[in-house]
Structure 1
Amino acid sequence: MTIKKLPACLALICVLAAPEITNAQTAVTDNSAYILTPKAGPEPHINGPKIFGVRPGHPVLFTVPVSGNKPVQFEVGKLPKGLRFDKNTGRFSGAVDKPGTYEIKITAKNNAGKAERPLKIVVGENICLTPPMGWNSWNIYATKVTEDLLLANARAMVTSGLIDHGWSYMNIDDVWQGERGGEFHAIQPNPQTFPDIQKASNEIHAMGLKIGIYSTPWIESYGHHVGGSADNPEGTFVRTPETDKVPRNKKLFPYKIGSYMFVDQDVKQWAQWGVDYLKYDWNPIELPETKQMFDALRASGRDIVFSLSNSTPFASIGDLSKVSNTWRTGGDIRDSWKSLKPRLFSQDKWEPYAGQGHWNDPDMMVVGVVGWGKDYHPSNLTADEQYTHVSAWCLMSVPLLLGCDLTKLDAFTLSLLTNDEVLALNQDALGKQATVISRQGDAGVMAKDLEDGSKAVGLFNPGDEGTKQVVLNWADLKITGKYIVRDLWRQKDLGTFEGEFKADVAQHGVVLVSLRKAK
C-alpha cells in the first residue's frame, strides 16, 4: 500500500516555502499552518524517561514529567531506603546507598483522570542512562549571557510546559567566568553578569530543573575568559586586545594547557553550587585531560553529566567514550540547511560507542528564536527542515539541548518540542542510535529498535529536487509479516502494511513512523 501525496512537514499538507526573514531583529515566522502534533488532553500523561541512573550515595534529582491539567497528585510504590518522593511536585530526592535496580510504580491523578507508569531507578556507576534534554545559552546569547537571562529561560522552561515533557537542564556556556578565588581558589563568576550563581542554582533546582556550567582545560576559553589551567600557580589570566584578535585556527591558537591545573579546585566549587552538567570545551580533545576531569567529577559527591566539546577525534573515541557521557561528533551548528544536512546520514560510524550513559552529540538544536548574541531571529530552517532536525536527533538518541530563547516560544516551536511520541524515541530505555538502512539517491531511511519490540523509522528527503517517494522495505529492517505503521508526529495509525511502506516526502522533509507487529 502506498501513501500518496503526503504533505510538507511529514508530507501531510501542501508544500509552502517558509517566509523570508527581512528584519532579523523583529521578524516573526508564522509556521502555525504546519503544526502536526495534536493538542494534549486534560488527563494526566507521564512523559520522559522510564529509566534513571544515580551513583550510590549521591543526591537523586529527578522530576516526573506529567502533562495535563494542573494540579497533579502523585502516588508511588515502595521506595528503596534513603529515597524520598514529594507527592505534590512529583520530585524524587534523597540518596540510595545500596547499588541495584529499583522498579517503582508511579501514579499521577488530576481532575480529568489518572495515569500509571513504572520508573526504573538504577543505582550504580552508570549515569545519564538516556540522553540529556534541556537548554544551553550559546546559540541564542553567546557572549551576552547573564544570570538574569539564565533565570528568565529557566522560568520559561516551566511556564511553557516544556518541563512536563522531560526538558530539565539549564546550561550556562562560555563567558560566565570571572577571576579565581573563594574557598577553593576556583573560578568565580563575573560579578557584573552572574552576581550569585549559588542563588541561581538554588532557584533552578527549586523549579525541578538542573543547572550546567562550562569550562576548558586551556588557560583561556574560546570566549577569552579564564580556563582550568594557567602558567602560574595563582591561576591568573589577563585578557588583552591582542589575544582577542588572534584567529581561532588551531594551528595559530595561543590557547594551550598551562603548567598548573586547577581541576580539583573547580570541581569542588561546582559541587558546592550544585552543578549537574559540565560542558568541557577544547581542541584537540585528548584522553589525559578527559580522564583527569572524569575522575574529579566522580569524586565530587554529585552526579555531573560530563560533555566533551568539540569535534571529538574519532580515532580516540573508544577510550574517550569510557570516561565521558556525551561527546561532540563535529563542529558548531548553525540554523541553515547547509549546516544541518551533513549531520543526517554521517553518524553511523559513531553508533557502536552510543548506549546507556554514553551518547554521540552532533551539537545543539537550532529551532525557535536564535541569534548567537546579536540579530535575534526565528530559525532560518524551514518548517520541513525543523521537522527533519527534531526527527533525526530523536531517532539518533543524541542530547537534546535547545539553543533558543525560551521566553519567545511560538506555537509551532512548542509543538515540535512537546510531541511525547517523538521525544520517546530519544528517551527510549534501550538506548539505540538509529542508523541508515537504505539509501535511495539523496533520500534515505534511518531506523532503530525500541525497548517494547517495535521499530522507529525516519524516511528522509534531504535532496533539492522537490517531493520524492521514499520506500521502507521490510527486508532492510530484517522483518516479515504484517505491521501497523504509526505516524508519530500526528500520533495516528496509518494502517496495516506488509512487505513495504511508501511515502511521498517533501523536499528537506521527513516521514517519521513506528512499526509494531499486527496481531
Structure 2
Amino acid sequence: MSEEKSYVAKRPPMGWNSWDCYGAAVTEDILLGNARYMAENLKEFGWEYIICDIQWYEPGADSHAYHKFTDLEMDEYSRLMPATDRFPSARDGKGFGPIAEQIHDMGLKFGIHIMRGVPRQAVHRNTPILGSKATARDIAHPASICMWNTDMYGVDANCEGAQEYYNSIFKLYAEWGIDYVKVDDIARIDCGPEAPGAGFSEIAMIKKAIANCGRDIVLSLSPGPARVEQKDFLLDNANMWRMTDDFWDKWDLLYGMFERCKAWEGIGCKDHWPDCDMLPIGHLCVCEDASGDETHKLSDDPARANKGHYTHFTEDEQKILMTLWCIFRSPLMIGAEMRDNDEFTLSLLTNKKLLNMHKHGKKAREISRKDDMVIWKSQTKDGKLYVAVFNIGEKENSAKIKFKDLGLDTKDEFPAIDVWEGSRYTIKDKKEVKLKPHSVVCFEIEAGETFSKS
C-alpha cells in the first residue's frame, strides 16, 4: 500500500460543519446547498468535507436546543436513521446514501456526527443488535449518560454484543458512503480505561469497528478538553480530538486557545491532529432569531435574511483565528452558512499562502510570549519559514523577530511576504513588529535550501 493510501487524514481535514449555523436543525437542502458552494468556490483550495452535525435522526429538530427524551428515527437493529422529514432522500431505508452520492459527485467527501452509545429508545424497546443474540438492553450501561443530551446510554464494553453493535452502525455508515464520523460526548476521557461504557473503552470499540467496516473513515472525537497526558492513547486511536469545549466567536475563548496550542505543540502528525474546533466566522446561528446586529446584511435569501448574526470577531480577530489554526495545523471546519459569505469571509478561506502553511508546515511551535505578544513559527521542506506575531493584549505593543530563535544566520537577510497583506519585505535579524491590540502579522520567509535541511 502506498504512503498516500495508508492515511485517511495525512493532513488536517478541511471542511464545513453544520453546527455553528444550523445547530440540530440542518436539512438535506442545506447540506447540498453548502456542498455546491464549496465545490464551486473552495474545493480548489483544499476544502473537501461536508459534515452533518447532531440530531439528524430527530424529526422536527429546529434549533441549537435539544428536545429531551424525544422520539428518534431508528431501524429494527437499534441503529439511528436520518429523519425523513428533514432528509427526504433517506426514505425506504436508503439512509444518507443518496446525499453522500451527490456530494461525492461534486468531488467532495461527506461526514456525520453521532453520540457515543446506544439509543435509550432502543434500550427501552429492547430491540435487537445485528450480528448478535444480544439486545440493546443487554449492552447498555444505564449509569453512563451524557449530561447535556438524553438520546443515548453508554455501551458496556464487557458485554456480549457491545462490539457487534458498533460494528453494525459503522458497517451501515460504510454502506452509505460516509467518509468522516465525529463522535460526541467521548473526548473527555475522565473515567479511566477500566470504566465500562465510556471514554477509553468506547473509543477502542469504535476504532475496531472502523477498521472492520470496509471503508476509510476519519474518526473525530468531541468535545474537549482532551488531556495532554492521554496523547499516546489518542494518537493510537483517533484521527482528530478536541482540545477544547465548543469554540464560539468570543474573544476570551480565542485568547485561551494560545495556551491550549502551546500545551499540544509538537504532538500533531500524519493521521493524528489535536483539534482547536470550529471556525466561527461568517453568518452563524441561522436557525435562531436575529441578534440585532445591523452592521452586515445577513443574507440575500429571504429565508435567512433575518436569522442569526455575523461573527462577533473583528476582521483582525478573524485573522488571528485563521493564522493560529493554520500555523498550529488544526483541522479546519467552517462554521458559516457559506452561501452568505461576504468578500472578507471568502478571502479568509482562500488565502493560498496561509493554506500552504497549514498544508505543508511542520515543527510548529511557540518561540516566545511576553506581555501578550506571542510569536509562533513553522517551516516547510522546500525552505519556507513562517513566522506569526500576535498581539493578544489590550494595548499597542511590539516584539522582535530574532533569527537565532528561527534557526537562521543572524548575519543574513531574507526576502519575505506578508501572508495577509501581500507586501514584500527584506527581513533582518531583530526586526521589530509593532501591532495594535487584537491583531496579527504573518510572514512567509524564503529561508532557502540550507534552512530546509536543518
TM range (shorter): 0.7 to 0.9
> Aligned residue for 2:5?
123
Whether 1:190 and 2:83 are equivalent positions in the alignment is yes
Query: What is the CA-CA distance between 1:140 and the residue it aligns to?
Result: 0.6
Among 420, 445, 452, the residue aligned to 2:382? 452
TM-score between the two structures when normalised by the length of structure 1:
0.68
Q: Which residue of the other structure, out of 50, 53, 56, is the alignment partner of 1:176? A: 56
Residue type of the partner of 1:490? E
Cα distance in 1 for partners of 2:357, 2:124 equals: 43
- Determine the C-alpha separation between the residues in 2 that align with 1:464 and 1:255: 44
| Gap change, CA 1:405 and 1:356, over 3 Å in 2 | same
Is the contact between residue 370 and residue 405 of structure 1 (CA under 8 Å) also seen in structure 2?
yes
Amino acid in the other structure paired with 2:154: I
Aligned AA (1:494): Y
Identity %: 30
User: Where does the alignment leave 5 or more consecutive residues of structure 1 unmatched?
Assistant: 1-98, 102-121, 238-245
Tell me the residue number matched to 1:397.
Answer: 329
Q: Which residue of 2 aligns with 1:293?
A: 206
Equivalenced residues, count: 381
Equivalents in 2 of 1:226, 1:156: separation in Å?
37
Q: Which runs of 4+ in 1 moved over 6 A?
A: none
Give distance in 1, aligned partners of 2:312 and 2:339.
Answer: 18
User: Aligned pair 1:302/2:215, yes or no?
Assistant: yes
Per-residue CA deviation, residues 412-451 of structure 1 (Å, 9 max, x unaligned), is 10011111111111111x5x36221011211110111222
Q: Which residue of structure 1 aligns with residue 141 of structure 2?
A: none
The farther-off stretch of 405-414 and 351-360 is 351-360
**Matching residue within 318, 328, 332 for 1:386:** 318
CA distance in 1, matches of 2:146, 2:126: 24
Measure, in 2, the Cα distance between the counterparts of 1:319 and 1:230. 33
Query: Matches of 1:471 and 1:368 in 2, distance apart?
Result: 33
Shift of 1:517: 2.6
CA shift for structure 1 position 188: 1.2
Letter in 1 for 2:51: N
Which AA in structure 2 matches 1:303? D
Distance 1:472 1:226 in 2: 59
Match of 1:503 among 433, 442, 445: 433
Q: Which one has a larger percent helix, Structure 1 or Structure 2?
A: 2
Shift of 1:407: 1.0
Q: Quote the offset at 1:219 in angstroms.
A: 3.8
What amino acid is aligned across from residue 206 of structure 1 in structure 2? D
| Residue number among 355, 367, 379 corresponding to 1:423 in the alignment | 355
Q: Which residue, 216, 225, 235 being the options, matches 1:321?
A: 235
Q: Which residue of 2 aligns with 1:65?
A: none
Unaligned runs of 5+ in 2: 58-71, 91-95, 130-134, 137-144, 190-198, 290-307, 450-454
- Residues 70-219 of structure 1 mapped to structure 2, 5 A cutoff: 99-101=1-3, 122-124=4-6, 126-159=7-40, 161-177=41-57, 178-181=72-75, 186-195=79-88, 196=90, 197-219=96-118
- Counterpart amino acid of residue 452 in structure 1: D
**Aligned mates of 2:436, 2:389 — CA distance in 1:** 10
1:352 aligned onto 2:282: no
Contact 1:179 1:226 in 2 (8 A): no
Which residue of structure 2 lines up, in the alignment, with residue 282 of structure 1? Answer: 185
Give the deviation of 1:518 after TM superposition.
6.5
1:165 CA displacement: 1.0
| Secondary structure in 2 matching 1:280 | strand
CA-CA distance at 1:187 after TM superposition:
2.0
Cα RMSD (Å) of the superposition?
2.7
> How much has 1:343 moved relative to structure 2?
0.4
CA distance in 2, matches of 1:254, 1:203: 29
Give distance in 2, aligned partners of 1:199 and 1:373: 24
Identify, as 1 or 2, the structure richer in strand: 1
Task: Determine if contact 1:397/1:433 at 8 Å carries over to the other structure.
Answer: no
Aligned partner letter, 2:240 = T
